[in-house]
Amino acid sequence: MANISWTVDSNEALVLSLVRAQEDKQVLGKNESFEGFHPTFTYPIYGEDEKLYGYQDLVIDFRFASGSLAQFLSVRYAEKLPASSTVDDVEGIFSPFIPPGYETEEEAFLARVENDASSFQPIGKCIHSYTRPAPSSSSEESNVEYEVYHATFEDSGFREYHRRMQIFILLYIEAGSYINEEEDGWDFVVLFEKRKRKDGTATYHFVGYSSLYNFYCFPEKVRLRLSQFVILPPYQRQGHGSELYTAIYNFVLSQAGVSELTVEDPAEAFEDLRDRNDLRMLLANEQLMNEGFGTQSATASHGGGRVQKARSRLRAVPQSASGSTKSRGKMGPPVDRAWSEKWRKDLKIAGRQFHRLVEILIMLHLD
């Protein structure tokens, strides 16, 4: 007894699942799994050391209906120490972070999943869609569609939907916290997988989302600040983050009243994603490249490896030391500041980011 540890890692104990209706499971490919993944962080909930005391084989089974995000929470364990002030109240600590009314009976939850799957529709307006080849599956599908929806708290039912999805911010973004939903000025973009059942009807499954805050920007425009951005683990590293980011960027371009897109305190993985997508967009802009370098050579080849190399060199080289050869274009060095500022405004990219991107482009060009 003395050697048994009664302390468990809360990131290990918490198990998340995105549960699909039976009919939706039938069209999944063999390797498609959306159940049984772990959070990256639980410290906002269970405390800095992410440990729980008083249990053996503790499982915090936290499930969502894959589209509506209706929740189920069940705490199970092999053994528990007699209740005392040191034994953690696992559910009691967790429940204030999710909306009340979550399911605790498995049967009721599974019935809810079946019901929600056929009735759930994304809230808001579809602003972007794309497809990916379907994993080998038993259905007739050759492609899977994905759709990005723009919504605000004004959209009926979205406030409640947001209350169910915001837990992912605490579980996956370092130093992430809940936004103040009483505040005006929030925009959201939510990404869904759209899957066709054998009978041809479509069902929607949550993939990830981003929240954006509107800042007033003198005299009559707003600056949109990307505040939170998450793609759930079963969907990561498949290009979905890039699609969601591109949808946001194109949304900003399409809004006459929005002057630029900024990002709040980006994590390194997100900076990578942002740089790659911004660079791809700039390199594909022929006019910019022609004016910038007086030649199209910079656009000729821009494999990911070269971009990566240029980015790491940018980190290593002091700004003033970058670029010493002459160029015939506006991108220099030295960069024509007025020209660069005009492009930055047209492309609605924040100042610091645009200057970084120009430095990377110069390095790519010098290579």
Among 36, 135, 157, 304, binds ligand ACO (CB under 6 A): 304
- Beta-strand (E) ranges in 41-124? 51-53, 55-56, 59-65, 71-76, 79-80
Q: Quick check: 246 binds ligand ACO (CB under 6 A)?
A: no
Residue 366 tokens, joined = 């010098």
Q: How far apart are CB 273 and ligand ACO at their closest, in Å? A: 3
Give the amino acid at 42.
Answer: T
Q: Quick check: 173 binds ligand ACO (CB under 6 A)?
A: yes
Residue 320: which residues within 8 A CB-CB, separation 6 or more?
A: none
- Helix H or strand E encompassing 214: strand 202-217
Q: Quick check: 238 binds ligand ACO (CB under 6 A)?
A: yes
Active site residues: 264
Among 46, 94, 172, 293, binds ligand ACO (CB under 6 A): 172
Bridge pairing between strands 258-263 and 221-231: parallel
Among 19, 134, 170, 263, binds ligand ACO (CB under 6 A): 263
Q: How far apart are CB 303 and ligand ACO at their closest, in Å? A: 11
Name the segment binding ligand ACO (CB under 6 A); options: 232-240, 250-258, 278-286, 325-333.
Answer: 232-240
Instruction: Tell me how far CA of residue 200 lies from CA of 134, 197, 343, in angstroms.
Output: 15, 5, 46
CB closest to ligand ACO, residue no: 241
Contact 337, 255 (CB under 8 A): no
Residue 231 tokens, joined = 């793609």
Name the segment binding ligand ACO (CB under 6 A); options: 185-193, 260-268, 292-300, 334-342.
Answer: 260-268
Which of positions 101-140 make contact with ligand ACO (CB under 6 A)?
Answer: none
What is the Cα–Cα distance from 273 to 11, expressed in whole angstroms? 25
Q: Quick check: 264 binds ligand ACO (CB under 6 A)?
A: yes
Measured over the CA atoms of residue 94, residue 232, residue 137 and residue 116, the dihedral's sign is positive
Q: Quick check: 229 binds ligand ACO (CB under 6 A)?
A: yes
Q: How far apart are CB 226 and ligand ACO at their closest, in Å? A: 6
Q: How far apart are CB 267 and ligand ACO at their closest, in Å? A: 4
What is the Cα–Cα distance from 238 to 242, expressed in whole angstroms? 9
Please give the residue ranges that form the binding site for ligand ACO (CB under 6 A).
172-173, 226, 228-231, 236-242, 263-264, 266-267, 269-270, 272-273, 276, 304
